[in-house]
A and B are shown apart, each in its own frame.
Chain A
């Protein structure tokens, strides 16, 4: 039978760090989805994701089981990414560096269009202020609910909701400006 998150966490706290591998496997996709959009330099994504898991590991004894583990982990990760961004100059992602799923049905042309589209969306996303960027990432890429986002951002749900709505419109506006230029 598969262990629950809490069982694994207790194992780690009680001196079995190896058990943490299961947590990493379970949540790496989620943590990556946050990091890949918040850390501008694609070469730093892997390092930042590793650092996020290390920070999660170090804080395990502070985890409150009343919360969802994923929400708490995302919260630690977003804070870490914000800290990292403060230390860095903003940098845009280059076309060839954008990683995405390459399904076999895509022709090279449609793949290129997809990449180009994805790149411009990514640039517009990066240019948004943090408080609008984070809800967009958490809702549309990490798949968090409003309740979870409110926990991660320490804001009431209504504010988170309004920001997400605002953020979508801002993103669209920026992409329109880009096209005209």
Chain B
């Protein structure tokens, strides 16, 4: 075995996985080879100091301080969630139900295409507003930054609604032009 291989044995020793036999073999070499012995002693001293001298002084009020932060987080989470939820509910109501109200008033004279053309853009409008609101909350570092599931879901839902809306609107528009021709 050469010194390089003994160095690997040393590492195994510091990994605490060397067998008794391996340790005996290593010690025998260290008696003969001053270079390896020097390295071993240095490593042992450094690692020993890393492992033994470490005993962190943790303040007695540490748990209490963590819990204060958690309480604060829970409070802001709840209040901003309630606020956002009620704003979203009102907006949803306005945006989703105003166009249908107009349609119902003039129901007999409106074609199915016009109804759908009114419905999908309003959905798209709603989703745009939702995205704006969410991005503002995100920029302000609000609760959504910690709520990964919701924010990652909205990343897909918003654009998906816009895409579907644009697609349906265009195909209906083409269909309508075709019918008129």
Contacts and interface: CB of A to CB of B under 8 A. Distances in A.
Given A100-B53, A172-B46, A175-B42, A165 B11 contact: yes
Nearest to A168: B43
Contact of A175 (B11, B46, B73): B46
Interface residues of B, number: 31
Q: Is the interface of B mostly helix, strand, loop or mixed?
A: helix
Interface string B54-77: 111111001101110111011000
A62 B148 contact: yes
Contacts of A32: 56, 58
Contacts, number: 91
Interface string A57-70: 11101100000000
Contacts of A136: 50
A168 B47 contact: yes
Q: Is the interface of A mostly helix, strand, loop or mixed?
A: helix
Nearest to B146: A58
A28 interface: yes
Given A168-B43, A171-B46, A172-B39, A21 B54 contact: no
A117 B46 CA distance: 9
A141 B50 contact: yes
A50 B148 contact: no
B102 interface: no
Interface of A: 17-18, 20-21, 24-25, 28-29, 32-33, 36, 46, 49-51, 53-54, 57-59, 61-62, 99-101, 114, 117-118, 121, 125, 136, 140-141, 146, 161, 164-165, 168, 171-172, 175-176
